[in-house]
Structure 1
Amino acid sequence: MNAIPAASPFSEAEPRTAGPVVAVASGKGGVGKTVVATSLARAFSRVGERVLLVDADLGMANVDVQLGLNPPGDIATVIAGTMTLSEAIAPAAGGSEKKGGFDVISGRSGSAALASLELASVNNLAAGLAAASMSYDRTILDLAAGADRATVRLAVAADDVVVVISDEPTSLTDAYAFVKTLRMRDEGASPFVVVNNAPDKAAAEGAYRTFARTCESFLGFTPPLAGIVRRDPNVGLAIRAQSLLGVRSPSTAAAKDIETLAWRLAEGVEERGRA
């Protein structure tokens, strides 16, 4: 397949200090990773940040569907050089110039070509996304579930990684596999952990302790817990309505948990930046 052009169309951003890039990952699908990513984008925007959300699931993208967007282009058209970054952006909740809104670069679902990008193309994509972050206060990458080469490469390029888990054993096992692969690429990586869809605090803390002990025993580090997002029927209702959780149900338990999570992640990114 064709490689991404060396002069990436992502590089049109005006020179400035890049805002942090946060990759949201998971070991397996179905743990609510995309809901966390979209809700974080809104939460950061609500405190005055200009936010770009990139659907970086290169094979099974769904951010545009969850948010009810009709994007003019997607990451594939930008990679191919047939559309510029600014032309492909779709505004969500009013776009990045509005408090609570943000910009979205959509992915393309079911694209075998994108899912099997050659390493050189993935490297160019990572560099392009870094360039795009120059125009925003924060860029959020909604990665594919699992630990394939492209997903891990994009995670390594991010300033911070958030691993979303649930209290299901398969989620913990697959999340560990992702973190292990990430640490093989970057031995200093210490991703944040978010326990999503938690039935109660005790179950969430138990899931985190199990995951943390496994990382301690076999990888020699303890991933920090960034937050717990409680199980909330309003999440499913928001997805079916193709709406942001914070717009449809701003006072619900999960929406409040996401607001707290965003604050903790912002504090963690700043601390690591000073380290």
Structure 2
Amino acid sequence: MTNFATDASLALTAPRQAGPLLAIASGKGGVGKTTLAIAMAHAFARRGQRSLLVDADLGMANVDVQLGVSAASDLASVVAGDLSLAEAVNCVGEGSFDLIAGPSGSAALAGLDLENVNRLAAGVTAASMAYDRTLIDLAAGAERSTIRLAAAADDVLIVINDEPTSLTDAYAFVKTLRMRDEGACPFVVVNNAPDPAAAHNAYLGFAKTCESFLGFRPPLAGIVRRDPHVPQAIRAQVMLESRYPASDAASDIAKLVRALEHGVTVK
């Protein structure tokens, strides 16, 4: 089995661990960001960490749909002032992670004003204090609300694939984030990789662009192989590792989570 997740030639000068509040971002939709966020939250939980997943895609939230759960409350109730973030937590299942669902099937929060976005960011930060690991599934793109929520996290994981539009849009996200926080240094994961060469080329191209125009080289946290078990798990509305624990993608996500816990090395 090829180890996609490590390559000494892609390693930065010193290992860096991801903080406990991690935002999952992508420049464009369709790269598997939400599926990856769910699988990562599950993997952290299985490693004994009390984990929370916040579906902060304010326009197209669908974590609860992918999981096949009926959330009793969501962010719409929080923004309306009916519930606190802590009161909006849903338990996905015993031994798994907690979820704060987004307003599924509704774009009601897509145009949320900055004051409410700031309140939401502060609330997520406060809620994360009760957990070992909190993941924020952001909306795709670089809208103001998305960047604000990303800036509230300790770290950002940007999800790319080998499509040119994925790389250009991910660069636009990182550039916008760096305009707000010049010290931001997102981790990178190449998702749905068809083969090692395509994955490494995608990362190297993205890293070179960031290095040339933004003055930093983002660390590669991992590569997740293209795996037919992933769409099968989505269709069945079950978590990948529960249904297909020996699958290539589940193995790669476990490596990704370990790398984020113990330090990503970037040369």
TM-score, normalising length: structure 2 = 0.90
- The residue that corresponds to 1:109 in the other structure is 104
Structure 2 residue aligned with 1:241: 236
Question: Is 2:225 the counterpart of 1:230?
Answer: yes
2:178 and 2:242 map into 1 onto residues whose CA distance is 36
* Of 152, 163, 172, the match for 2:147: 152
Tell me what 2:53 maps to: 53
Q: In the aligned structure 2, how far is the partner of 1:147 from the partner of 1:110?
A: 21
The match for 1:4 is none
Q: Return closer, same or farther for 1:85/1:156 CA change in 2, 3 Å cut-off.
A: closer
Cα displacement (A) at 1:89: 2.0
Q: Normalised by the size of structure 1, how large is the TM-score? A: 0.87
Among 236, 248, 257, which residue is 2:252 paired with?
A: 257
**Is the aligned partner of 1:128 residue 2:123?**
yes
Partner residue in 2 for 1:35: 35
Structure (1/2) with the larger helix percentage = 1
Which moves more between the two structures, 76-85 or 50-59? 76-85
Identity %: 67
**SS in structure 2 at match of 1:141:** strand
CA distances 1:38-92 after superposition (whole Å, capped 9, x unpaired): 0110111111100000000001001000000101010110221212434422222
Distance in 1 between the 2:117 and 2:261 partners?
Answer: 27
Task: Tell which has more relative contact order, 1 or 2 (C-alpha 8 A, sep 6+).
Answer: 2
Alpha-carbon RMSD across the aligned residues, in angstroms, is 1.4
TM-superposed CA distance for 1:110, in Å, is 4.7
CA distance in 2, matches of 1:194, 1:159: 17
- Tell me how far 1:199 sits from its aligned partner: 0.5
Aligned-partner Cα distance in 2 for 1:239–1:93 = 17
Partner of 1:72: 72
Q: Deviations over 1:5-62 (max 9, x none)?
A: xxxxxxxxxxxxxx71100000000000011100110111111100000000001001
Residue 111 of structure 1, CA deviation: 3.7
Aligned counterparts, 1:185-196, within 5 A: 185-196=180-191
Residue identity matched to 2:195: D
Please say if residues 70 and 90 of structure 1, whose CA atoms lie closer than 8 Å, have aligned partners that are also in contact. no
Q: How much does 1:142 deviate?
A: 0.3
The Cα offsets for residues 178-215 of structure 1, whole Å up to 9 and x where unpaired, read as 00000000000000000000001111000000000110
User: More deviation in 80-89 or 230-239?
Assistant: 80-89
Q: How many residues align?
A: 247
1:80-136: CA deviation from partner (whole Å, max 9, x where unpaired) = 121243442222232xxx2xx000010013544411111111111100001101111
Matches of 1:37 and 1:122, distance apart in 2: 21
Amino acid at match of 1:121: N
- CA distance in structure 1 between the partners assigned to 2:129 and 2:152 by the alignment: 14
Distance 1:112 1:142 in 2: 16
Within 1, Cα distance between the matches of 2:87 and 2:72?
Answer: 7
- Matched position secondary structure for 1:193: strand
Equivalent position SS for 1:114: coil
Give the letter aligned to residue 22 of structure 1. Answer: L
- In the other structure, the counterpart of 2:200 is 205
1:26 aligns with 2:21: no
1:90/1:105 contact within 8 Å kept: yes
